[in-house]
């Protein structure tokens, strides 16, 4: 059974760095072809693809946000971590992690709402 769970702060101050952790089970990021992605959704708005990390440690980032994003993995803990620097109120969103298999997000976490406010 594949599960993913996002964890991190619910409230972040402007200019701070956000660190989110995706803890997963039911698959391994050492398996060829497996990936984990972070996708966010501002309240009432569309999905936005942020970053992806692959089993071979390849990393991909949203073009407009890549200077602020870092994705990493800890395969021993079955975790993927996303950091986003210089947070702004417009970054208020639900942040999802998802398993990516054959380029498709077939399992998603329930999401973590992050509010950026002073």
Give contact residues for other proteins (rule: CB under 8 A). Answer: 37, 46-52, 60-63, 96, 98, 103-106, 108-111
Smallest distance, other proteins to C-beta of residue 104, A: 5
Q: Which residues, 6 or more positions from 102, have their beta carbon under 8 angstroms from its beta carbon?
A: 33
Query: Residue 111's closest CA among 38, 6, 36?
Result: 6
Looking at the Cβ atoms of 20 and 50, the one nearer to other proteins is: 50
Nearest CB to other proteins, comparing residues 55 and 60? 60
CB of 97 to other proteins, least distance (A): 10
* Region at 19 (left for phi over 0; alpha for psi -120 to 50; beta for the rest): beta
Residue 101 CB, shortest distance to other proteins, in Å, is: 10
When the beta carbons of 3 and 30 are compared against other proteins, the nearer one is 3
* Residues listed for the chain: 118
Bridge partners of 39?
49, 96
């Amino acid at each position: 059974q594949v599960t993913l769970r996002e964890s991190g702060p619910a409230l972040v101050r402007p200019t701070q760095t956000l660190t989110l952790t995706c803890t997963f089970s039911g698959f391994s990021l050492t398996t060829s072809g497996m990936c984990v992605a972070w996708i966010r959704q501002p309240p009432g708005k569309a999905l936005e693809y942020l970053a992806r990390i692959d089993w071979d440690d390849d990393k991909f980032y949203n073009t407009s946000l890549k200077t602020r994003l870092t994705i990493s993995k800890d395969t021993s803990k079955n975790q993927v971590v996303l950091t986003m620097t210089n947070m702004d109120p417009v970054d208020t969103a639900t942040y999802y992690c998802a398993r990516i298999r054959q380029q498709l997000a077939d399992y998603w976490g329930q999401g973590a709402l992050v509010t950026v406010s002073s």
